[in-house]
């Protein structure tokens, strides 16, 4: 019988297990990057496919929950030293909701955060926590989340089970450590059927950073140096032209 899927992300209130070699390297400084009162909302998509279509297999509850979720709000209740406490509010499509408090340590990985928040400022090659088997940052890239372009850290992991393969993908905002996206895929095969499960979570809005275009002076702030340089040249050209046209004309000699 196919092994029941375990979706990793605390966004859905479920467990996570990683089996990734620990990177040897210099010590990493782990620091909380979020603040009390900050929040983010996420969309959630759950996917399920079975072949043949008439196979006698039930959709996992984790996937069913994801498909029934309208959105999730994660708000920072407290952020002290290396510990973060979040209130996770799950809004379902039937107009009900659940609220759960979760807490964890961004250095040790202990607690129930399960990578929803990690340390701020991690570099490529850093382990996301100092716990044995922690995933490591594979690359840093520019991506747009919640209407703003952000520097984002990326990591993934693959697990092999007796029934198939699980694949996880995470992206976090580098400056704050807040999760901006998560993907989970699992493929299982038996002699009777094959299934593919997926959960995709993506940040849609937040008060942690300012959306691009919301500040009426954002254009000036972003291109201020260019504007100053152009202004200098324009001013110089205007003054030069004024000086030329205002140059006194030589008077004619007076006849006697």
Q: What is the DSSP string of 167-226?
A: EEEEEEETTT-BEEEEEEEEEEE-SS-EEEEEEEEEEEEESSSPPTT-STTHHHHHSHHH
Give the model's pLDDT for residue 12.
53
Task: Tell me which architecture the domain covering 10-206 has in CATH.
Answer: Beta Barrel (2.40)
Query: Does residue 22 have a pLDDT over 90?
Result: no
- Global confidence as pTM: 0.75
> What is the pLDDT of the chain when averaged over all its residues?
82
- The number of residues in the chain equals 256
Query: Does residue 109 have a pLDDT over 90?
Result: yes
The count of C-alpha atoms lying within 13 angstroms of the C-alpha of 129, restricted to the half-sphere facing its C-beta, is 22
87: confidence class by pLDDT, cuts 50, 70, 90? very high
222: confidence class by pLDDT, cuts 50, 70, 90? very low
Give the model's pLDDT for residue 210.
85
Give the model's pLDDT for residue 214.
53
Give the model's pLDDT for residue 212.
72
CA distance 57 to 50: 8
What six digits make up the tokens of 54? Answer: 């008439």
Query: Does residue 215 have a pLDDT over 70?
Result: no
Express each pLDDT in 161-199 by its tens digit. 888 999 999 999 999 999 999 999 999 999 999 999 999
Query: Quick one: average pLDDT of 131-145?
Result: 96
Residue 86 vs residues 200, 213, 226, 241, 247: alpha-carbon distances, Å? 20, 29, 42, 63, 72
CA distance 252 to 254: 6
211: confidence class by pLDDT, cuts 50, 70, 90? confident
Question: DSSP states of 105-144 as a string?
Answer: ETTT--BS-TTSB--TT--TT-BSSSSTT--B--EEEEEE
Express each pLDDT in 28-79 by its tens digit. 999 999 999 999 999 999 999 999 999 999 999 999 999 999 999 999 999 9
Query: Does residue 105 have a pLDDT over 60?
Result: yes
Q: Where are the domains of the chain?
A: 10-206, 215-247
């Amino acid at each position: 019988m196919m092994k029941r899927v375990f979706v990793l992300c605390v966004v859905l209130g479920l467990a996570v297990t990683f089996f990734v070699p620990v990177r040897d390297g210099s010590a990493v400084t782990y620091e909380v990057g979020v603040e009390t009162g900050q929040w983010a909302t996420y969309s959630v998509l759950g996917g399920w496919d079975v072949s043949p279509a008439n196979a006698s297999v039930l959709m996992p509850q984790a996937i069913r929950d994801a498909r029934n979720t309208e959105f999730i709000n994660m708000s920072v209740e407290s952020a002290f030293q290396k510990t973060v406490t979040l209130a996770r509010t799950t809004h379902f499509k039937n107009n009900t909701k659940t609220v759960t408090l979760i807490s964890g340590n961004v250095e040790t990985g202990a607690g129930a955060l399960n990578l929803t928040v990690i340390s701020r400022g991690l570099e490529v090659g850093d382990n996301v926590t100092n716990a044995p088997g922690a995933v490591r940052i594979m690359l840093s890239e520019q991506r747009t989340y919640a209407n703003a372009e952000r520097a984002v850290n990326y990591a993934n992991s693959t697990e092999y089970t007796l029934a198939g393969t699980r694949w996880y993908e995470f992206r976090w905002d580098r400056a704050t450590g807040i999760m901006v996206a998560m993907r989970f895929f699992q493929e299982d095969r038996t002699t009777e059927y094959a299934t593919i499960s997926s959960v995709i979570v993506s940040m849609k809005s937040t008060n942690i950073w300012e959306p691009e275009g919301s500040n009426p002076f954002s254009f000036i702030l972003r291109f201020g140096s260019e504007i100053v340089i152009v202004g200098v040249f324009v001013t110089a050209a205007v003054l030069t032209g004024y000086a030329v046209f205002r140059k006194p004309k030589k008077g004619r000699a007076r006849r006697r």
